[in-house]
Amino acid sequence: MRVIKQKPMTWGERLYIFEALRGLFTTLKHAARGLFRYEELPTISYPEGQPEVRNTYRAKHRLMLRPDGSPRCVACGMCAAACPAHCIFIEATASDDPRIEKKVKRFDIDHLTCVFCGLCAEACPVDALRMDTKKISFEHRSREEFVAHLEDLTNWDPKDYPDDEQSQVAPGGTKNAEARKVWGMEVK
């Protein structure tokens, strides 16, 4: 056990008045800063100015794409199992590609229930689910609209992720043609 002994107040501090004046001086400094250096206040006026979002910020989800544009998800259900909020709903069907067993038919994430813990992205064995869209505002009219469907999750532009190689593999990206060759499909 650690005992922290509080230092007894000195005579000047016990008088209160000098400490009060010191406090008043501090607030006066801040008030003067606000009045004469208004533009240097740290506030971001939000809807007009957006805050800077870091790369590691866990924002809205997205599903990564194969070179042919289909979602990379193999419908294994790991993310749904890992989700502590039970907000991911997956339905699988048989895949057209003989090399892959299943593909995803329905992939819903309820963003009203989601706690943005990032465990789904951690759990994904094929790196299909990511949370790096930097979309931090969710505003919709009804509860249903907060549920992100497959189309919504796969609807992203590789140009928004120029530094990410995996995103460039998707259709429209700089490495799409190369990846298609590797993947074993014709380049149209």
Partner 1 sequence: MDIIESKTWIEWLITIAKFAFCFVPVLYILLLIPMERRGAGFMQDRQGPNRSYIKIPYFGKIRLLGYVQNMCDGTKLFFKEMFAPAGVNKVLYYVAPAIPFAIVFLSPCVIPWFGPMVFEWGGQMVRIPGSIIDSDVGVLLLFGFSSLSAFGAVLAGWASKSKYSFLGALRTSSMTISYEVCLGLSMMGILLLAGSFNLTDIVSWQEHHVWGIVAQPVAFFCFLIASIAETGRAPFDVAEGEPELVAGYHTEYGAMQFGLFYMGEYSHICINSFLIATLFLGGYSVPFITTETMQAHMGGSLTVLCGVLAFLALAFLHMIHRYSKKLAATNLTNRFEILREYKLYNIVAWAAVVVLVILAFFAWFFYNPQSMVIGGVAVGSLSTALGTALIHLLVLVVKSVIFCWVWIWVRWTLPRFRYDHVMSLGWKIILNIALINLVVTAVIAKLVGGN
Binding footprint of partner 1 on the chain (CB under 8 A): 20, 23-24, 26-28, 30-31, 33-36, 38-39, 41-43, 45, 47-49
CB of 180 to partner 1, least distance (A): 37
CB neighbour list of residue 122: distance below 8 Å, 6 or more residues apart: 82
Q: Tell me the HSE value of 64 on the side-chain side, using a 13 A CA sphere.
A: 23
In whole angstroms, give the CA distance from residue 145 to residue 86: 18
Shortest distance (Å) from residue 90 CB to partner 1: 38
CA distance 179 to 174: 10
Pairing of strands 129-130, 62-63: antiparallel
Give the amino acid at 33. Answer: R
Smallest gap, in angstroms, from Cβ of residue 184 to partner 1?
Answer: 44
| Beta carbon nearer to partner 1, 3 or 35 | 35
Nearer to partner 1, 19 or 164 (CB): 19
22/149 with CB nearer partner 1:
22
Identify which of residues 23 and 84 has a Cβ nearer to partner 1 in the complex: 23
